[in-house]
Structure 1
Amino acid sequence: MQFRDLPSVDRVMASDGMAELTEAYPRDWVVDLVRRQLDRARQKIRDGGNAPSAADVADGVSGELSLMTEVAPRQVINATGVVIHTNLGRAPLSPAAIEAMTQAARGYTDLEMDLSTGRRGSRQAHLQSLLQQVTGAEAALAVNNNASAILLGLSALSVGKEVIVSRAEAVEIGGGFRIPDVLKQSGATLVDVGTTNRTYLRDYEDAITENTAALLKVHSSNFRVEGFTAEVEPSELVALSKEKGIPVLHDVGSGALLPTEAYGLAHEPTPQESIAAGVGLVFFSGDKLLGGPQSGMVVGTAELVRRLERHPLARAIRIDKMSLAGLTATLLHYLKQEAESEVPIWRMISAGEQEIKDRAERWKSQLALPGEVISSKSAVGGGSLPGETLPTWVLALSCEGSTGGPEAVMRKLREAKPPVVARIEDDRVILDPRTVLPEEEDSLLTALRDALSP
């Protein structure tokens, strides 16, 4: 035991550099961090470690303050090849969307004022017009995320009543978000029909009662069942809903507004298709395949959307002015038919193999480090198109000369400024140019040189 060797709080506070810290930050805060460092040191001694010096404790306090006072979340370079990386914030935004959000944040806006009359207006008005044009819906509403949109729809239409869902679609997606739990929270009762792998139209029809409020269809998003399967198409549910006078609600998830099959991927359901089929309400995310800021959209019939707008929950989950600005700018790319070139995730998805290979070769030549350019696979990610990949080329770097191997190199990359996130395959660090923005290349190469230096 070396507890007697631990420096006192006063001794640490007298160490070099601590005076500067107490000038920059409240003294009580710095002292509290010193005490925390000493508590950790006591535990380290109990575990058989040595007592730190006063200078060591002071360095620990300085490092902790640096981490605590960094603006978060930080920019990260995504070299994983996963286009919509949930842990890295999903979709990067277009320059136009970033500029729109910056303008909205910089000063006052006409968020809820009609400048033509000088009276109060709706924050949804302009966005609703864009969503109507893009999806073909009668009306639209944006909230803070897709989970909120679904909860709002169920709360407004189904409280105290039953909602019929295929058993195969009573799913759990990221973060423990479960459709049955959302139904329960909304005040609706889940009635699951069919089996895990096969559900037929008659299953829905047999379950309808006088207490049925809606038929809910949920896109499975981040998993799929293959083989002996059957599911009911939205158009079939719409025909049944018209016969029974019960609306169909459809969560399409990713918000793809472009045909994914045109890019060598499986078909992803689009809001436009559901609206064309006659679905009453369609829910989708703004920060997945749509490529905008975090948000959730509801599009559908004017009567049903109005019911959602009038519900008290709508105000609690309304979209903020900056997300609204970014979403508006993103939707304009689709109206101008420039999404493939202007929305970053679609530029990544549509990137040609030769273009990607050329970038990887250029990185290799500029680095002058042991490695090779090899063929590989990119993923869409973000709970979209499970199992689907895009052919790509990656830079595979050998870590034989680096102490600690690939794991140590990955750690150094994550500690870079800005941090770099890559992946490991066959004891090599793999970097996929598909998901690295062009303006990030210089920072990436600097981080790689530092991480792989002996």
Structure 2
Amino acid sequence: MKTTLKDCPSVHQVLLEMNGNIQLHENYIKYIINAELGKIRANIKKGKLSKTKQELLEHIVSQVWLISAPRLVNVINGTGIVLHTGFGRAPFRGKHLKDLADRLDGYVNLEFDLDSGNRGDRQSLVQEQLSAMCGSDSAMVVNNNAAAVFLSLNEMAEGGEVICSRGQMVEIGGSFRIPDIIEKSGAILKEVGTTNRTHLKDYEKAISKKTKLILWVHTSNYVVKGFTKEVSLSELVILGKKHKIPVMADLGSGALLDMKQLGLADEMPVKSIVNSGPDITTFSGDKLLGGPQSGLMVGKKKWINACKKNPLYRVLRCDKITLGLLEETLRSYHSGSFTKDNLSLTLLTTSRKILKNRGQKILDSLQKKTPIELGITLVDSEVEAGSGSLPDDKIESAALSFSPKNGKAKDLAKGFRCGSIPVVGYIHGNTFYIDLKAVLPNQIKRLATAIQEV
């Protein structure tokens, strides 16, 4: 028996069937119901439905339950990319978040000086610590590095020219392009040099009465090799002082430690950049630093204070949660190293040997038929840090590869993504992989369960 439009329940009938069990705003519930009814009516008109009115009611209610569930859910990152933008970049430990939640319960002294009883400055929560760690006169934080770059450009160069090498005209994900951000900031871009070679004389030749800033950009998400030449930041600082023009450095990612000593690619630490003498240096809080989404600005007190007074600062400032998380992240650094509380660096520096041991434990915990049916093997792999960090570095890792006897790799991938424990891996050729580099140690048992259930 074909379903007709008369069999479609009304919104009121669906609400009665739900009996107030879903705690959501009534308008949102009605929105979901109407959307589902629209799909049902379309299928009825195409003659594709054979359900009773009660079955339709139950289907709509189940869909309301499904759609009304929290959109932000915990996932197991099997891509191998630790700083994965799609998964929120730097991960946090649950304990870390719970400790912060206890301190954020109720009211906090975000902009209140408990000693004097007067209004305080939210930047004071991290300013001294950040300045000391980076070796700068002062520091401040806004909501991401794009904001830090934009605010700095607007304050230092609005209405004037910004000199930047053509070899540093970077573009990152999300349509952030250096030429565009300079234009939007109210400054005028003055390009110098070529894509692969820029000389100091190119900068000097471009300087005029209109010049307000020299911009040096670290190409953190790509590498140019071969017949190349670039001007060092130190040389630009000397040039800037000679002509009384400020110099700004955009690091993009930014690391507080020597990555090479941690067994990763050579990435100049922020402190070394600051020691080169730029007036302001900007970098991200949620990449190699291992903190929340934020843009960190360190440099000369004159310019940091000016940026704080800029009207744009209020548009770009961070909230109490971001500042609290950043403070905790900075506390995870000690004497040239880091603690296990810095989950990003912990994951990035976990050896292949340890990862293979975890992979073997997963295989040992599965029912004997599962590895055979899914064609699971433990293999060596190589991954990248992610988010444009350490672009030229392949990091050793280990992965579980799946070559199922029945079905396609894309179907298996969807099965993992849509399971009760969402797992996101990747497909290469006709094989599905779950890389273990970014799988948290406390997720190993859950991953084994997800494999068993898929």
The answer, yes or no, to whether TM exceeds 0.5 is yes
2:122, 2:42 → 1: CA distance? 54
Equivalent of 1:412 in 395, 404, 415: 415
Instruction: Tell me the SS of whatever aligns to 2:82.
Output: strand
Answer whether contact 2:257 2:336 (CA < 8 A) is retained. no
Query: What is aligned with 1:376?
Result: 381
Query: What is aligned with 2:280?
Result: 281
Instruction: Tell me the SS of whatever aligns to 1:448.
Output: helix
Equivalent of 2:431 in 428, 431, 434: 428
2:71, 2:36 → 1: CA distance? 23
Answer whether contact 2:22 2:65 (CA < 8 A) is retained. no
- More off after superposition, 415-424 vs 284-293: 415-424
Query: What is aligned with 1:244?
Result: 243
Count of matched residue pairs: 447
1:420, 1:311 → 2: CA distance? 44
Query: What is aligned with 2:398?
Result: 393
1:253, 1:421 → 2: CA distance? 27
1:9 aligns with 2:12: no
Q: 1:374 to 1:88 in 2, by over 3 A?
A: same
CA shift for structure 1 position 69: 2.6
CA shift for structure 1 position 104: 4.1
Which whole-Å deviations, capped at 9, do the CAs of 1:59-105 have from their partners, x for residues lacking one? 44334423443233211111111111111110012456424531343
Q: Give runs of aligned pairs for residues 194-233 of structure 1, distance below 5 A.
A: 194-233=193-232
Q: Give runs of aligned pairs for residues 125-274 of structure 1, distance below 5 A.
A: 125-274=124-273
- More off after superposition, 379-388 vs 93-102: 93-102
Contiguous gaps of at least 5 residues in structure 2? none
Q: 1:189 to 1:363 in 2, by over 3 A?
A: same
- More off after superposition, 143-152 vs 440-449: 440-449
2:52, 2:198 → 1: CA distance? 68
Q: 1:170 to 1:59 in 2, by over 3 A?
A: farther
Query: What is aligned with 2:363?
Result: 364
2:198, 2:46 → 1: CA distance? 57
Instruction: Tell me the SS of whatever aligns to 2:19.
Output: helix
Answer whether contact 2:257 2:337 (CA < 8 A) is retained. no
Answer whether contact 2:251 2:282 (CA < 8 A) is retained. yes
Contiguous gaps of at least 5 residues in structure 1? none
Answer whether contact 1:238 1:277 (CA < 8 A) is retained. yes
Q: Which amino acid aligns with 1:374?
A: V
CA shift for structure 1 position 146: 0.7
1:347, 1:248 → 2: CA distance? 34
CA shift for structure 1 position 353: 1.8
Answer whether contact 1:7 1:54 (CA < 8 A) is retained. yes
Answer whether contact 2:198 2:231 (CA < 8 A) is retained. yes
CA shift for structure 1 position 3: 8.1
1:440 aligns with 2:429: no
For normalisation by structure 2, the TM-score amounts to 0.92
For normalisation by structure 1, the TM-score amounts to 0.92
1:75 aligns with 2:74: yes
Q: CA RMSD for the aligned pairs? A: 2.4
Q: 1:287 to 1:30 in 2, by over 3 A?
A: closer
